[in-house]
A and B are shown apart, each in its own frame.
Chain A
Amino acid sequence: MTDKRDEKLDGLLRSRSIEAASPDLAQRVILKAQQLPQSNSLPLWQWLRDLFAEFHLPKPAYVLASALVMGMVIGFSVPQETSQGEDDSGAIIQTFLSGDEALL
């Protein structure tokens, strides 16, 4: 039953009707092309696509690059706290040293 339905569907798909193209379609295209100048330079977007295609990297390289970028982002998001901590310890040392001076 299923096989018959499959066959019938395949038959329908293969026999889809089509409106025939104008017999002069190819000639129209050729004539139109004769009026157009050729350009041997690539459009910018195509040139860029080709350029990036030349630099195609394997997947592990993308993973590594992503990890580096993430590391940098995390690194840049933390430094305020770290530098604050360094400033604090500097102040403590200064207090400690000035305390010593007071004794003297």
Chain B
Amino acid sequence: MAAGWADKEDHELLALIQDGNGQAFAVLVERHTARFYRLAYRYVQNKEAAEDIVQDAFLKLWENPALWHPQRNSKFTTWFYRIVVNLCLDLRKKKRPEALDNDTLLMDDRQPADEMMMRAQEQKMLEKAIAALPERQRTALNLCFDGGLTNQEAAEVMGLNLKALQSLIMRAKTTLKERMKTYL
């Protein structure tokens, strides 16, 4: 990829995409796929489904680049997080996520076996507890702890003010502490 392309800001790439530039689209996809996959995975807990969501979101942008309004949407990532979250929520409405079983838990084989078991159990309980949280609390948590966003950015994605977002996170953590008390 030419250095010139990599240096371009997201909004510059989007302007080119609106003119039908496939190269700009490729740069944008390569730049952001990993972060949006990460967020989608948190919601659906399934690799294939998360990949499909990321693909659908980017294709939606490619097919209808007019969806992006530079004057209204301050930052591409903030706007696109919203699209990904909405697709995740749509999928959850259509289909309940499968419960995590022991096979889907990811273990680090460098740890001793008992520590690994303990860690796996913690992880399983945490995912269950997060899945049981109200939707907005779960979204706030996913955006702040996994999306790599600041609280202010996460608040913008959710269309909230900062205090409302902090309150959601606080409530989510209080619930998680209660549900995870044997592990904390």
Contact = CB atoms under 8 A, between A and B. Distances in A.
Chains A and B come from one and the same complex: yes
Interface of A: 4-6, 8-9, 12-14, 16-19, 21-22, 25-26, 28-30, 32-34, 36-43, 46, 50, 53
Interface of B is mostly: helix
Given A12-B126, A16-B126, A32-B55, A38 B47 contact: no
A21 B51 contact: yes
Given A25-B33, A42-B67, 13 more contacts: A6-B173, A14-B145, A17-B105, A22-B51, A29-B29, A32-B59, A33-B58, A34-B22, A38-B20, A38-B65, A39-B63, A41-B66, A46-B64
Contacts, number: 105
Contacts of B38: 18
B33 A42 contact: no
Interface in B60-109: 62-67, 69, 72, 104-106
Interface in B161-177: 173, 176-177
Interface residues of B, number: 45
A30 B42 contact: no
B152 interface: no
11 contacts: A6-B173, A9-B173, A12-B123, A12-B183, A14-B145, A16-B123, A21-B47, A26-B30, A33-B25, A33-B58, A36-B59
Interface in B10-68: 18, 20, 22, 25-26, 29-30, 33-34, 37-38, 41-42, 47, 50-51, 54-55, 58-59, 62-67
**Nearest 6 interchain pairs by C-beta:** A17-B106, A5-B184, A33-B62, A21-B37, A26-B33, A13-B145
Given A8-B184, A18-B38, A30 B67 contact: no
Q: Which of A4, A12, A28 has its CB near the most chain B CB atoms (within 10 A)?
A: A12
B135 interface: no
A36 B42 CA distance: 28
B155 interface: no
A87 to B, nearest CB: 56
Nearest to A18: B41
Nearest to A31: B26
Contacts of B173: 6, 9
Contacts of A19: 41, 47, 104, 106
A43 B65 CA distance: 11
Contacts of A18: 38, 41-42, 106
B29 A9 contact: no
A29 B36 CA distance: 13
B113 interface: no
